[in-house]
Amino acid sequence: MAEMEHSYTLRKNKFIKTFILFCFLLVFTSCASIPVEREWQDIKRVRYRTEKLQVGDIIVKSKMAKDPLGWYGHAAMVVKKDTIGDYPKLGVGYYEIDTYSWLYEEREVMVLRYKHFDEKFKELFEENLKKHTDKGYFISGRKNTNSFYCSKYVWYIYYITAKELGYDLDLDSDGGFMVFPYDFIGSEELDQIIF
């Protein structure tokens, strides 16, 4: 009996240490600097000019210190006219929402557009959007396709579309194990759209 309790205690301690390490890595790997040529915009500017948005545009919301879900910012993308596709949080999974409603918060945003988003890319991109909306929300490494979170979903749809077209594309500017919303801001493959 004592041996079972000791084994349980060791497993529990290992879990706690792993969890603390995971949190530490999240905090210190999610800090990305904003390139000088990029600038945050008031969300209202984008909200009232949504006609400028195109399928594939990535919208990054700024970090929110008061809400743990907003500590790393947030990212989603335009999946069809006036519609955002998003993996917002645990327990929700993928959902689509009208652009105006998604831009409701008082935060700053950045709209980024892939430089080579032509008709050929768009056609396959839209097919991949439909294929990958059935996963649950869970934070895991970039290449694990069993689950998604906001920025991982955006990253993966671009990654898999380019791969199926025969080339490599990594919109994660730091190429880390995980992709965070701010990682898109530093990508040289994305242009900022000013509203």
Q: What confidence tier does 5 reach under pLDDT thresholds 50, 70, 90? A: low
Q: What confidence tier does 97 reach under pLDDT thresholds 50, 70, 90? A: very high
Averaged pLDDT score across all residues of the chain: 84
Domain tally, the chain: 1
What's the rounded Cα separation, in Å, for the pair 15 and 25? 15
Is 187 part of a structural domain of the chain?
yes
Is 16 part of a structural domain of the chain?
no
Judge whether 144 and 101 are in contact, CB under 8 Å: no
Is 5 part of a structural domain of the chain?
no
Give the CATH number of the domain where residue 84 resides. 3.90.1720.10
Query: pTM of the full predicted structure?
Result: 0.80
Is 25 part of a structural domain of the chain?
no
Domain membership of residue 70 as a residue range: 31-193
- The residues, ordered by sequence, that sit 6+ positions from 123 with a Cβ below 8 Å of its Cβ are none
Is 4 part of a structural domain of the chain?
no
pLDDT digits 0-9 by tens, 76-88: 999 999 999 999 8
Is 172 part of a structural domain of the chain?
yes
pLDDT at 47: 93
Is 161 part of a structural domain of the chain?
yes
Q: Which helix (H) or strand (E) holds 60?
A: strand 58-61
> What is the percentage of the chain residues whose pLDDT exceeds 70?
78
Q: Strands 74-80 and 58-61, how do they pair? A: antiparallel
pLDDT digits 0-9 by tens, 125-167: 999 999 988 888 988 888 888 999 999 999 999 999 999 999 9
**3-state DSSP call for residue 134?**
coil
Judge whether 190 and 111 are in contact, CB under 8 Å: no
Is 82 part of a structural domain of the chain?
yes
